[in-house]
Amino acid sequence: MDEKRKVLLIATLDSKEIETAFLRERLEENGLEVYLLDASIRRTIEGGAHITPDQIASAAGTTMPEIRALNHEGKCMAIMIQGAIKRAHELDEQVGFSGLIAAGGSGGSTLGAAVMRSFPFGLPKVLISTMASGMTKPFVGTRDIMMLNSICDVAGLNTVTRRIFENGALALAGMAKAYEPVQSSGKPVVTMTTLSVSDPCANRIRAALEQDGAEVMVFHSQGTGGPAMDQTIREQDVSLVVDLSLIEVGDYLAQGLYDGGPDRCKAALEKGVPTIFVPGNIDFLVDGPVEGARLRFPGRMYHIHNASVTAVRADADDFKRLAEHMAGLIKEAKGPVAFYVPLLGFSEHDSPRGHLHDPSLPPVFAEHLQKVMPEGVPVVVLPYHINDPQFADAIIEQARAFQGAAAAVR
């Protein structure tokens, strides 16, 4: 008889005891061995938990009485998350989890998601949450967490929540029973960013590098894609980075919707991975509905992508600010870097066919980048649009040169 797959159920029994018991029963009915992590703060429910609140507090270097004495929900939760992550990984080393699951409101979701994000991609993760129909980025981050909308609050059981919890248990059971840790393909890994408006360039590069024998991972740079790529670079042996879409950097500097955060691009530079940068999609910033975009960015060109998203034309000041930011990051690079600039436009929007075309602006970025770039880092300015085949071919040639140099060193 096959050994049962083991999963971790992350819960707070002081407020979700009935719901946790129901979810645990459904998981066990579907052939899983359930390990329970109880991160209760208000009171400790005795029995049933493999990881208790006291053990979690101890892992965080404190005690439950000391945590409760803080009398501050946010501070208490932060300490419990720290300890829960440590204890969850200790137990995983002992038994080997094939999946993680949690259910809760904003607090329980914060706890469950934090533990899940600490585990590698590929391991099944199901979060049943009242927060699933809203801003999910703080919970999912750069991980492969499946969020399931609980519809009703996670407060007691009813015909709706019973069905939702059962669906969540079934989803985890199906994935856990088939789970195998991700195995390396054995090919050199290349990571790349893009958006749909730079896809012709990305697709040509990807096809060529795959033909060369590389495994190319492409990330959608919409605010979490770039950070997810950076996380992958930190955790895996990546041989080359083609950071084709820097819109998340532009939006970070302008506080746009595709903000990739202050650490965007740092992983490859700090690790010394050969990197090719391209200012793809920096010709526009991403804002919300057009009415608000016009107030935040008056006098610009706008493209209404949909009712919730507006592309706003970036101007010369945006370009100079981004050039200086990138030069500052590249200054700390521990490996080879090249920066390629397509002088005829940075995205499909920034073309004669596009909605935000302004041919006077790409030269502004190129000139300022050349002025501020650290000595020894090539800035290659080419008389092409980013989606012209000739530009992609130049990137391919540089990628092969970096790959060849790295292979010679090995």
**DSSP codes of every residue in 259-277:** ---TTTTHHHHHHT--EEE
Same domain, 165 and 200: no
The residue range of the domain holding 129 is 5-178
What pTM did the predictor assign?
A: 0.89
pLDDT at 55 over 50: yes
In a domain, 377, yes or no: yes
3-class DSSP assignment, residue 28: helix
Dump pLDDT digits (tens) for 333-364.
999 999 999 999 999 999 999 999 999 999 99
Please indicate whether residue 47 or residue 217 has the higher confidence score (pLDDT).
217
H and E: helices and strands count for the chain: 15, 14
Same domain, 131 and 205: no
Dump pLDDT digits (tens) for 193-226.
999 999 999 999 999 999 999 999 999 999 999 9
Same domain, 154 and 196: no
Residue 296, domain CATH: 3.40.50.12030
Same domain, 148 and 276: no
Give the model's pLDDT for residue 1: 40
Same domain, 248 and 341: yes
Give the model's pLDDT for residue 44: 86
In a domain, 367, yes or no: yes
Structural contact between residues 119 and 100, judged by C-beta atoms closer than 8 angstroms = yes
The closest of 335, 334, 319, 336 to 372, measured between CA atoms, is: 319
In a domain, 184, yes or no: no
Residue 49, domain CATH: 3.40.50.12020
Same domain, 114 and 213: no
Same domain, 196 and 143: no
Per-residue burial over 258-288, b = 16 or more CB atoms within 10 Å of its CB, e = otherwise:
bbbeeebbbbbbbbebbbbbbbbbbbbbbbe
Same domain, 322 and 371: yes
